[in-house]
């Protein structure tokens, strides 16, 4: 369970990273829209786990590796934005948020189930 402080800090990081990716994202990944779906922060606020979703991209793992390769540059830009609000700039860990893939897979399963013939209930 995250504290209010962690949630508030995660919200600040999410907003500022979103602005950074909106402005700088095309330089890192051309023709790809990067969305920050969730940010989780450790209790000491030293590590921020950032979950990303990539749109208009075929290889999510390659995109994630590109983001990870530029993590220090992204952290520097984040630090420039939030330096007056925090004591330390958290280390950034990036992950792919596969929630949309999971939802799509579940939708296909439910569609398959609904198309199957119903067996009469035997009592």
Give me the pLDDT at residue 58, please: 82
Give me the pLDDT at residue 25, please: 84
Helix (H, G, I), strand (E, B) or coil at 43: coil
Q: How far apart are CA 14 and CA 19, in angstroms?
A: 9
Give me the pLDDT at residue 121, please: 63
The tokens describing 118, both together, are: 């119903």
Give me the pLDDT at residue 46, please: 94
Give me the pLDDT at residue 118, please: 64
The tokens describing 100, both together, are: 């949309």
Give me the pLDDT at residue 42, please: 94
User: Taking residues 23-36, what's their average pLDDT?
Assistant: 88
CATH superfamily of 4-115: K homology (KH) domain (3.30.300.20)
Whether the pLDDT of residue 98 is over 70: the answer is yes
Helices (H), the chain: 4-28, 60-69, 71-82, 99-115
pTM (two decimals): 0.79
Question: Where along the chain do its domains lie?
Answer: 4-115
């Amino acid at each position: 369970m995250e504290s209010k402080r962690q949630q508030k800090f995660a919200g600040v990081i999410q907003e500022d990273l979103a602005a950074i990716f909106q402005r700088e994202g095309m330089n890192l990944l051309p023709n790809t829209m990067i969305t920050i779906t969730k940010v989780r922060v450790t209790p000491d606020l030293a590590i921020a786990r950032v979950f990303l979703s990539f749109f208009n991209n075929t290889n999510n793992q390659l995109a994630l590796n590109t983001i990870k390769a530029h993590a220090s540059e992204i952290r520097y830009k984040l630090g420039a934005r939030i330096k007056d609000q925090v004591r330390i700039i958290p280390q950034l860990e990036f992950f792919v948020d596969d929630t949309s893939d999971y939802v799509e897979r579940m939708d296909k399963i439910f569609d398959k189930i609904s198309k199957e013939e119903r067996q009469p209930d035997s009592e």
